[in-house]
Amino acid sequence: MSGGVDSSVAAYLLKKDGFDVTGVTMRFGAAGVNTGESARQNLRAVRDARKVCLRLGIRHRVMDFSEELEKRVIERFVLEYANGRTPNPCVDCNKILKFGILLEKALRLGFDFLATGHYADIDPRVYGGRNSGQNKGRNRITGKKRKIYRLKKSKDERKDQSYFLYAIKKESLKSILFPLGRLTKSRVREIAKSAGLPVADKPESLDVCFIPRGNFRGFLSKRIGAFRGGPVLNLRGDVIGGHRGAFFYTIGQRGGLGIGYKYPLYVLAVDTVKNQVVVGKKENLKARTLVAGNINKLVDRFPRKAFAKIRYAHKEAKCSIFRDKDKFRVIFDKPQEAITPGQSIVFYSGDTVLGGGIIEKTTGGVKWP
């Protein structure tokens, strides 16, 4: 329970359905780790979650994840930026902390499920029944029916968060509940108000939890240390300006270059070793092919054809998937804009999440100077 309206309504709905519910808030500001404004925000979240639990008449526990956040999420986040890549810390937090360490703790403590306020759904289906016409779901040895759990998109497409959840282990899906999966955000607000929850009107937080107010530049400056400016190059290798530290920039970025030019400039590549930033026209951002690693599969068999998102706000695009050892080579039917190393690519078939991985590189695009 983050102290927000979504997790609060999730707890309310579970209790209403007869579950024995305990609210757990992950603390991220203890022992000098993740101090400052983000730590104060976390303390406010703890207080708000406690108020909701009192209102619902359920137990409330606080578990300290300060060191885990630092070692497993923040350090990787900083290292990726230092190497010119653009990571997605919310994917790592869900994979490692919430649906990794926290889920394991919950199961060890005797709980049956971990539930959150994410906008996604899990669909358990029984295969191999008498009238199903599908024997592929039966255990090959015993012939018994089995449940197959699928991660699905939320009913509220605007709020769907399945992109951030693709890295959950397939075997963990049976122990996870998403009570808001078939609700819209507006309906969740209505439920919170009718239930008298004290956070019913609490605004959403859109920032990364450890970077308050979205101040990436200030956060990275403190973490990476001294940085030096360098050249901004065009595709011919000409120096057309300067930057204030290559790791501040990400592929597809337009603003913040400080260069007056005859046409709008976009970041095409970042090289933190040479301390260079390459820029060009928007059309130069397009590419059809990428290579992804750290693949997580949520289905037994990956199809050759699927739809994929190369970042959260990106529209799904049709693609072909080719396996190359432990990596995927992905070819889109149409060129995609600003394919960014470090970001996640997530594959879909209809409303089912097939899995995903981390973008390592694009191939067949423009040649950098």
Mean pLDDT is lowest, of 9-13, 98-102, 164-168, 281-285, for 281-285
Question: Are 193 and 248 contained in the same domain?
Answer: no
Question: Are 268 and 201 contained in the same domain?
Answer: no
> What was the pLDDT predicted at 207?
72
> What was the pLDDT predicted at 367?
58
Token pair 């539930």: residue: 115
200 domain residue, yes or no: yes
Higher-confidence residue of 27 and 172: namely 172
Mean pLDDT is lowest, of 33-37, 115-119, 156-160, 220-224, for 33-37
Token digits of residue 32: 């000098």
Question: Are 202 and 241 contained in the same domain?
Answer: no
Kindly report, residue by residue over 159-216, the tens digit of the pLDDT. Answer: 999 999 999 999 999 999 999 999 999 999 999 999 999 999 988 877 788 887 777 8
Question: Are 347 and 273 contained in the same domain?
Answer: no
Domain CATH code at residue 241:
2.30.30.280
Domain residues for 246?
226-280
219 domain residue, yes or no: no
218 domain residue, yes or no: no
Question: Are 144 and 86 contained in the same domain?
Answer: yes
Which are the catalytic amino acids?
Answer: 93, 209
pLDDT reading at 95 higher than 80: yes
Q: Say if residue 236 is exposed, middle or buried (CB neighbours under 10 Å; 0-12, 13-18, 19+).
A: exposed
pLDDT reading at 41 higher than 80: no
3-state secondary structure the chain: CCCCHHHHHHHHHHHHCCCCCEEEEEECCCCCCCCCHHHHHHHHHHHHHHHHHHHHCCEEEEEECHHHHHHHHHHHHHHHHHCCCCCCHHHHHHHHHHHHHHHHHHHHCCCCCEECCCCEEEEEEEECCCCCCCCCCCCCCCCCCEEEEEEEECCCCCCCCHHHHCCCCHHHHHHEECCCCCCCHHHHHHHHHHCCCCCCCCCCCCCCCCCHHHCHHHHHHHHHCCCCCEEEECCCCCEEEEECCHHHCCCCCCCCCCCCCCCCCEEEEEECCCCEEEEECHHHHEEEEEEEEEEEECCCCCCCEEEEECCCCCCCEEEEEEEECCEEEEEEEEEEECCCCCCEEEEEECCEEEEEEEEEEEECCCCCC
Question: Are 62 and 201 contained in the same domain?
Answer: yes
pTM of structure: 0.89
Average pLDDT over residues 102-108: 97
Q: How many domains does the chain have?
A: 3
369 domain residue, yes or no: no
Question: Are 50 and 183 contained in the same domain?
Answer: yes
Task: From 159, 183, 213, give the residue that closes a domain.
Answer: 213
221 domain residue, yes or no: no
Mean pLDDT is lowest, of 71-85, 211-225, 232-246, 272-286, for 211-225
pLDDT reading at 325 higher than 90: no
Percentage of the chain lying above the pLDDT 90 cut: 68
Question: Are 55 and 174 contained in the same domain?
Answer: yes
pLDDT band at 125 (very low <50, low <70, confident <90, very high): confident
Domain CATH code at residue 294:
2.40.30.10
Question: Are 66 and 160 contained in the same domain?
Answer: yes
Question: Are 151 and 259 contained in the same domain?
Answer: no
- Average pLDDT of the residues of the chain: 88
Question: Are 110 and 156 contained in the same domain?
Answer: yes
pLDDT reading at 137 higher than 60: no
Q: How far apart are CA 248 and CA 267, in angstroms?
A: 11
Average pLDDT over residues 310-325: 94
> What was the pLDDT predicted at 130?
43
Burial code of 266-285, b = ≥16 C-beta within 10 A, e = fewer?
bbbbbebeebbbbbbeeebb
Question: Are 75 and 132 contained in the same domain?
Answer: yes
Domain CATH code at residue 109:
3.40.50.620
pLDDT reading at 134 higher than 80: no
Task: From 188, 213, 238, give the residue that closes a domain.
Answer: 213
pLDDT reading at 324 higher than 90: no
pLDDT reading at 351 higher than 60: yes
Kindly report, residue by residue over 243-290, the tens digit of the pLDDT. Answer: 988 888 899 998 778 888 888 999 999 998 899 999 999 999 999 999
